[in-house]
């Protein structure tokens, strides 16, 4: 699977190329970037599916310098925002962030800069973008385009669904539907269509630069139980140089693996959503500084981590889907240097994923509770927020309440008056309508279980692992069926090499035997096809001159001459 040639298309625009070189320090764009940037410059709604490390950030940072107005970047990660803002400011560019980390004075200053349009880049969260007051501030500015990072989070068919993303469509409408650039590292065809639908951008241009990265060595280790996993983990950490990430499926495993490795003398820390924000921040800073051998984490860690020299990503437990696996494994080797992506596969891990799947969608009683809570809220105030509904619908989980609210809005049962503000549009629903929602969620649950099956198939396959991933993401590719770098391909190459070695050994022996059989000296009697018997008169390298009984002599390749058996010659 050969790597694609680098694009030089951006060099057709002298101003863009000058900014690329002088502001960002690059001589040329990576594959796929030029097409995305050109689409953004043309004001087209654009979806870019680009692997981790392919340079998605530059796809909005570069054109933003050459378009009039402010670029709004929506990201789910506050830590990533700060990193991006710092880097842009270091380059002398106007950038700021608006999120919950700001003090009251800091937020006031940021809003003033937005109103005065002194910042080219404004980073914010999906929750803040849908805030009515913040939207009002943005409505008074010139917006060149909006960027939605990690856009797969908007799709309930995707692997990292976040309900907060579902309110982005009405927020964009409130801003006058400016051009949109949506970014993600992974998206199946189904998720791409769902992204278009959720954002209301059916004509969005899609650029998919492919997922293959030749520097990532994909490998699966078939292990049984924690003792075998821990032994293999120790062996790997002792042999692989550099820093990496160890992903587990549960908080319990994060704590267990962290404790085990620390007891073995490794500098490791744990990371999961239940840790205090301060502790998570400190752990991430140490990881980014290269102070740790590994971060042991749930999938709460990693999205947007801008560390190029991660040398390994180990999945201690089976992930729930190939999207999740590729997204997480793809955080290794962003510098283009070789990196290890290893999955520990124990069939018993399936039970953990099935347990996690069981709590994803509302059940019938939970949906009934949410609908009843809507009526209770309506009785006190015609308008309510998502947060108020979550409180009223307790003990239904917040995520399930938000999923139910979104579906009720889609069905016209709930009306979104303005971003973040809702009212009950219908006091009575059609018979069986709520039941239809439950049936839809059952179908989604079945699809999630099918994704788990595909994940297990990847773990068990003897085929090229990159080929399996590319097939899953529906990449048409006429290149080789084997990448040559995954464990299955390496094993296949080794077996082929051994077979070739044995074949060559056999052929050499046969040639030696053959050469021995047809080694002639003067006077030997030989037989030639269609010419009969004669006597060797002369030997010249690989040829012989044979004299026949009629007195004529002829020259032949030695391989065509067959010696007349000794018993015959003695007669």
Secondary structure (3-state) at 173: helix
Do 512 and 531 fall within a single domain? no
Q: Same domain, yes or no, for 114 and 251?
A: no
91 and 157 share one domain: yes
- DSSP states of 344-399: EE-GGGHHHHHHHHTTSS--HHHHHHHHHHHHHHHHH-S-EEHHHHHHHTTTS-HH
Distance of alpha carbon 287 from its chain centroid, rounded? 21
pLDDT at 16: 87
Whether residues 14 and 117 share a domain: the answer is yes
pLDDT score of 514: 56
Per-residue pLDDT tens over the stretch 424-433: 887 788 888 8
Specify if 116 maps to a domain: yes
125 within a domain of the structure (yes/no): yes
pLDDT band with cut points at 50, 70 and 90 for residue 504: low
Q: Does 434 map to a domain?
A: no
Percent of the chain exceeding pLDDT 90 equals 45
Q: Which of 151, 177, 208 is the last residue of a domain?
A: 208
Rounded to whole angstroms, what are the CA distances from 471 to 320, 386, 458, 467, 503? Answer: 18, 39, 11, 6, 34
Q: Are residues 326 and 291 in the same domain?
A: yes
Question: Taking a C-beta distance cutoff of 8 angstroms, is the pair 310, 338 a contact?
Answer: no
If asked whether residues 79 and 201 sit together in one domain, one would say yes
Asked if the structure places residue 85 within a domain, the reply is yes
Q: Is the pLDDT of residue 12 over 70?
A: no
* CATH number, residue 386: 1.10.10.10
**pLDDT above 60 for 7:** no
**Domain identity same for 29 and 117:** yes
Number of domains in the chain: 5
CA atoms of 483 and 467, how far apart (whole Å): 8
Domain that holds residue 529: 525-570
Give the pLDDT confidence score for residue 513 in this predicted structure: 58
Do 372 and 341 contact (CB within 8 A), yes or no?
no
- Residue 62 lies inside a defined structural domain of this protein: yes
Is 324 within a domain? yes
pLDDT tens-place string over residues 32-78? 899 999 999 999 999 999 877 678 899 999 999 999 999 999 988 77
In tens, the pLDDT along 262-285 reads 999 999 999 998 888 889 889 988
Query: In this structure, what are the phi and psi dihedrals at residue 321, rounded to the nearest 5 degrees?
Result: -160, 165
pLDDT at 235 over 50: yes
Structural element, H or E, at residue 310: strand 310-315
Residue 1 in any domain: the answer is no
| Element containing residue 40 per DSSP (H, E) | helix 33-41
- Asked if residue 436 is part of any domain, the answer here is no
- Separation between Cα atoms, residue 542 and residue 520, nearest integer Å: 10
Q: Above 60 in pLDDT, residue 148? A: yes
Instruction: Verify that 22 and 77 share a domain, yes or no.
Output: yes
Percentage of the chain with pLDDT > 70?
89
Average pLDDT over residues 69-94: 88
Q: How confident is the model at residue 294 (pLDDT cuts 50, 70, 90)?
A: very high
CATH code, domain carrying 196: 3.40.50.300
For 497-501, what is the mean pLDDT? 59
Are residue 269 and residue 342 in the same domain, yes or no?
yes
Q: What was the pLDDT predicted at 569?
A: 44
**What's the mean per-residue pLDDT of the chain?**
86
Same domain, yes or no, for 257 and 123?
Answer: no
Are 255 and 390 in a shared domain? no
Mean pLDDT check: name the lowest of 198-202, 302-306, 393-397, 398-402.
302-306
What does the pLDDT read at residue 236? 96
End-to-end CA distance of the chain: 66
**160 and 38 co-located in one domain:** yes
pLDDT band at residue 571, thresholds of 50, 70 and 90?
A: very low
Single out the residue in 208, 242, 261 at which a domain terminates.
Answer: 208
């Amino acid at each position: 699977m050969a790597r694609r040639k680098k694009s030089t298309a951006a060099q057709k625009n002298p101003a863009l190329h000058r900014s690329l070189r002088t502001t960002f320090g690059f001589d040329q764009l990576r594959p796929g970037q030029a097409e995305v940037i050109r689409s953004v410059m043309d004001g087209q709604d654009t979806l870019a599916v680009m692997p981790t490390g392919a340079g998605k950030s530059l796809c909005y940072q570069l054109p933003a310098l050459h378009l009039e107005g402010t670029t709004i970047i929506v990201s789910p990660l506050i830590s990533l925002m700060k990193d991006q803002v710092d880097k842009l400011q270091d380059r002398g560019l106007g950038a700021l962030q608006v999120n919950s980390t700001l003090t009251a004075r800091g937020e006031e200053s940021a809003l003033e800069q937005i109103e005065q349009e002194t910042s080219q880049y404004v980073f914010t969260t999906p929750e803040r973008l849908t805030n009515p007051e913040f939207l009002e501030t943005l409505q008074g500015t010139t917006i060149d385009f909006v960027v939605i990072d990690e856009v797969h989070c908007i799709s309930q068919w995707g692997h990292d669904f976040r309900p907060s993303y579902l309110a982005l469509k009405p927020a964009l409408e409130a801003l006058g539907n400016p051009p949109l650039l949506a970014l993600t590292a992974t998206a199946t065809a189904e998720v791409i269509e769902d992204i278009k639908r959720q954002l209301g951008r059916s004509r969005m241009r899609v650029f998919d630069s492919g997922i293959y990265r030749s520097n990532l060595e994909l490998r699966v280790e078939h292990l049984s139980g924690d003792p075998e996993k821990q032994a293999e983990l120790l062996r790997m950490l002792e042999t692989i140089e550099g820093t990496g990430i160890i992903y587990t499926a549960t908080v319990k495993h994060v704590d267990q693996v962290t404790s085990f490795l620390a007891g073995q003398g490794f500098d490791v820390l744990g990371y999961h959503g239940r840790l205090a924000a301060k502790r998570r921040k400190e752990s991430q800073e140490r990881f980014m500084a290269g102070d740790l051998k590994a971060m042991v984490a749930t999938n709460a860690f990693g999205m947007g981590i801008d560390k190029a020299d991660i040398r390994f990503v180990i999945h201690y437990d089976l992930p729930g889907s190939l999207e999740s696996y590729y997204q997480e494994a793809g955080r290794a080797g962003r510098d283009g240097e070789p990196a290890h992506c290893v999955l520990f596969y124990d069939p018993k891990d399936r039970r953990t994923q099935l347990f996690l799947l069981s709590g994803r969608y509302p059940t019938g009683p939970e949906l009934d509770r949410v609908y009843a809570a809507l009526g209770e809220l309506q009785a006190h105030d015609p308008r309510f927020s998502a947060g108020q509904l979550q409180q009223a619908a307790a003990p239904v989980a917040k995520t399930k309440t938000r999923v139910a609210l979104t579906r009720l809005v889609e069905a016209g049962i709930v009306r979104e008056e303005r971003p973040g503000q809702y009212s009950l549009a219908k006091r009575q629903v059609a018979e069986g309508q709520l039941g239809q929602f439950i049936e839809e969620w059952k179908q989604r649950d079945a699809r999630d279980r099918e994704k788990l099956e595909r994940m297990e198939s990847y773990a068990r396959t003897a085929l090229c692992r990159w080929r399996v991933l590319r097939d899953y993401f529906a990449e048409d590719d006429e290149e080789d069926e084997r990448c040559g770098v995954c464990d299955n391909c390496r094993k296949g190459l080794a077996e082929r090499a051994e077979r070739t070695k044995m074949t060559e050994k056999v052929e050499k022996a046969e040639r030696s035997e053959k050469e021995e059989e047809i080694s002639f000296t003067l006077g030997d009697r030989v037989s030639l096809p269609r010419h009969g018997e004669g006597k060797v008169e002369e030997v010249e390298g690989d040829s012989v001159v044979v004299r026949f009984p009629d007195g004529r002599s002829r020259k032949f390749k030695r391989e065509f001459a067959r010696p007349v058996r000794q018993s015959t010659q003695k007669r």
